[in-house]
Amino acid sequence: MADVFFKAGLIEAWGRGTIKITDECKKAGLPEPEFKEEFGGFAVYFYKDIYTEDNLRKMGLNERQIKAVLYVKEKGKITNKEYQEITNVSRQMATIDLAEIVKKGVFARIGKAGKGVAYQLTKLTNK
């Protein structure tokens, strides 16, 4: 059936649509969709961005922590030192704030210890 649609010019090459969908989600600042084969069919799950300032406040994050989450949305990760720089807090306060963000399930800690530790967003999303 898909071959007929392809030859008729109604669809593009195989697999191209999923790439276009993913690219459009990225352009819109949304998380990448999830593609699954389910029950003999194909499903696409779109997620909304829950890392908005309003949602982060509702989760109990303070203004420094919100600033860090927005930073990670843009940069991909944050270190303790970067947190200190963007929020103007001590190392100890940065450690406490980052631990709270991890505890709330917003950040995942990556790396073992010391300067090798960074934080990135978890895959916490709403369908």
The fold of the 53-121 domain, in CATH, is Arc Repressor Mutant, subunit A (1.10.10)
**Mean pLDDT per 10-residue segment, the chain (127 residues):** 66 71 78 82 82 88 96 93 97 96 92 86 61
Rounded to 5°, angle at Cα 110 from 24 and 123: 35
pLDDT of residue 107: 93
Compute the Cα dihedral for 90, 95, 99, 101 and give only its sign: positive
pLDDT of residue 95: 94
pLDDT of residue 65: 97
Whole-model pTM: value is 0.64
> How far, in Å, CA of 44 to CA of 127, rounded?
11
Q: Tell me where in the chain the CATH 1.10.10.10 domain(s) lie.
A: 53-121
| Cross-strand partners of 121 | 107
